[in-house]
A and B are shown apart, each in its own frame.
Chain A
Amino acid sequence: MAKAPLAITASKLTKKFGDFTAVDDVSFDVQQGELFALLGPNGAGKSTTIKMLTTLLRPTSGELTLAGHDVAKAQDSARKSFGIVFQDPSVDTEMTAYENMELHAALYGIRGSEIKARVQTLLELVELWDRKDALVKTFSGGMKRRLEIARGLLHHPHVLFLDEPTLGLDTQTRNLLWDYVKRLSQEEGMTVFFTTHYLEEAEAVANRIAIIDHGKLIALGTTKELTKQTNTKTLEAAYLELTGKTVRDEAPGRGDEWRARHRSRSMR
C-alpha cells in the first residue's frame, strides 16, 4: 500500500523582495496528523512563509506541496486541501455567522445537502450555534476567531493553518481554542501548522517545532531535541539561545515595505 502523502513538503523555499531575501532556502516536511509550530522573532520570515504555504504569495524559487498537490502546478487542488485562520479577522462582519459559513461552502464547492449538517456540527463545536443568525459585527474578538476556525474546517481540510490564532485572546478562550484544535487533529487526522509568540503554547501543543530567523530555518525538532541541542531546560530558554535576546523591530518587516513600493505581480 502506498504511504499517505506528507501533509506539507517545502523544499529550498525562497522568497526575495528586490534584493532583500525574506525567506532563504527553507526546507521541511510535515507529517499527516502532525501538530507543527513555526516560531521566530518579528520580521524573521514567518508571515512570508505562511503566505507562500497558503498560496497568497508565489515563491521566488523552491518547491511546495500540500497533501501531495504541487502548489505551483495544481493550485486549486492545493487550495482545497487546507483551511486557514489568518492573524487578522477575515470574516464578513456585515453578514451572519451562518451566512459566512454558506459563503465558504460555495467557494469550496460543497453541495447543498451536506452543508447544513456540517455547519451545525462545527458551529456547535465552537459554541456559536445559538448565535448563528447574529451579524458577526456583534461578536467579540474571541467569537470571531472561533467562527474563523469553524469556517476553516468546513471543507474537511487536510491541513489547518493557524497564524497566531491566540493573539489578543484571554486565557480561557486560548485554552478552549487549543482544546478544539487538538481534538480535531486527533479525530480527523488533520495536520495543524501554526505560528505563535507564546512559547508555552508551542511546547504544550506541538509535536515538532521549527524556528526561523533572518529568513533561515535555524532549528527543527521536538521540544526535547531543541533543549538538548542548546543545552537548556525549557523551550523558551532554547528559543532565546537560538535567536538571541535583542528586541526586534516591531515595524512591518522589510518584505512588507518592499511590497508597499512594488505592488502587484503576486499570484493569480
Chain B
Amino acid sequence: MRVIYTLWLRQIKRFFRAKSRILGAIGQPLLFLIALGYGIGSVYSKAGQGNYIEFLVPGIMAQTVLFAAMFYGAMIMFDKQFGFLKETLVAPVSRFKIMFGGALGGATTATLQGLLVLLISLFLGFRPHDWALLPVVVLVLGMLSVAIASFSSGIGSFVQDMQGFQAINQFLVFPLYFLSGALYPLQHVPNWLRIVAECNPMSYAVDAMRGLLIGQSHFGLPKDLLVLSVTVVVLVTFGAYRFRHIEA
C-alpha cells in the first residue's frame, strides 16, 4: 500500500507544481464550453432542443477527464526519457504496484480537472439538477479516469518516444471523444453512428454524467455503470500486462 500511496503522491505533487498544467486544465475546457456552447448553442435551441450549454457540460467534463488521463501515459514517456523509470524497475516491488500507483495518481488529477470544469460551468449559469448526486458524479469520473490512465500506461509501456506516443494518443483519443455523444444527442444520429457510439465505452461515461447532472440519459444509469466497470477491469488488466514488459 505504501508503494502505491507514494507513487500516487508523486503524481499529485508534480501536478500541483506544474502551473502550466493547471492553466491548461482550466483553459482548454473553458474554450470548448464557450466556443461550442455559444457557437452551436443558438442553432441547438432554434431546433427546439433546449439549452445546449446544459447539455454540453457533462460531455466536456468527461472529455477533460479523458484527455487528462491519457496524458498520464506521457508521464511514463518522461520517466523513460529522464531515467526515473529505471529507479522503479530495479526496486523490490511488483510491476503492478508501480503501474497502478502512478495510474491512480494520474486518475486523481484527471478527476480533479473534471470537477474543475463543473466549477467553471457554474459561472456560465450551469446548475446540476440534484446536488446530492455529486458523489456519484465523482465516482463515474474516477472510474473513467482510472480506466483511461491504465490504458495510457499500457500504451506508454511499449511506445519508444514522445512523438510516437502523441501520434497514438491523438489517433485514439479523438475518435473516442467525437464518437461518444459528448457533443450531440444520440437519439437523432444516423444508425451507423449510433452503433459506433454504442460500441464506444466513452459514450457510457458521458451518458452517466448527463443522467446524473441534468437528468437526461440515453442508456440508463445501471447500464452505464456496468459498461464502465467492465471497461475499468479490462483496461487496468491491459495496462498491468503491458507494463510488465516495459523496458527502461
Chain A interface residues (CB < 8 Å from chain B): 54-56, 75-77, 79-80, 82, 84, 86, 88-95, 99, 102-104, 106-109, 151, 259-260, 263-266, 268
Contact = CB atoms under 8 A, between A and B. Distances in A.
Contacts of A99: 10, 13
B247 A91 contact: no
Given A77-B92, A263-B247, A93 B160 contact: no
Interface residues of B, number: 31
B19 to A, nearest CB: 12
Nearest to A78: B92
Given A56-B89, A106-B3, A94 B17 contact: yes
A104 B85 CA distance: 12
Contacts of B95: 268
A56 B248 contact: yes
B188 interface: no
A171 B6 CA distance: 37
Contacts of B18: 94
Nearest to A102: B6
Nearest to A82: B90
Given A90-B84, A103-B7, 14 more contacts: A56-B90, A56-B247, A56-B248, A75-B92, A79-B91, A79-B92, A90-B85, A92-B82, A93-B82, A94-B17, A95-B14, A108-B91, A259-B247, A266-B245
9 contacts: A56-B248, A89-B83, A90-B83, A91-B84, A91-B87, A92-B10, A103-B6, A106-B3, A263-B158
Contacts of B6: 102-103, 106-107
Interface string B1-36: 011011100100110011000000000000000000
A55 B89 CA distance: 8
B247 A266 contact: yes
A103 B10 contact: yes
Interface of A is mostly: loop
Given A102-B6, A263-B158, A92 B91 contact: no
Contacts of B92: 75-77, 79-80, 107-109
Interface of B is mostly: helix
Interface in B68-103: 82-95
Interface of B: 2-3, 5-7, 10, 13-14, 17-18, 82-95, 158, 160, 244-248
A95 B86 contact: no
Contacts of A102: 6
A88 B83 contact: yes
A264 B84 contact: no
Contacts of B88: 107
Nearest to B82: A93
Contact of A56 (B5, B86, B158): B86
A80 B91 CA distance: 7
A95 B13 contact: yes
A89 B82 contact: yes
A80 B95 CA distance: 15
A77 B246 CA distance: 21
Nearest to B87: A90
A264 B87 contact: no
Contacts of B91: 79, 104, 107-108
A79 B94 CA distance: 11
Contacts of B158: 263-264
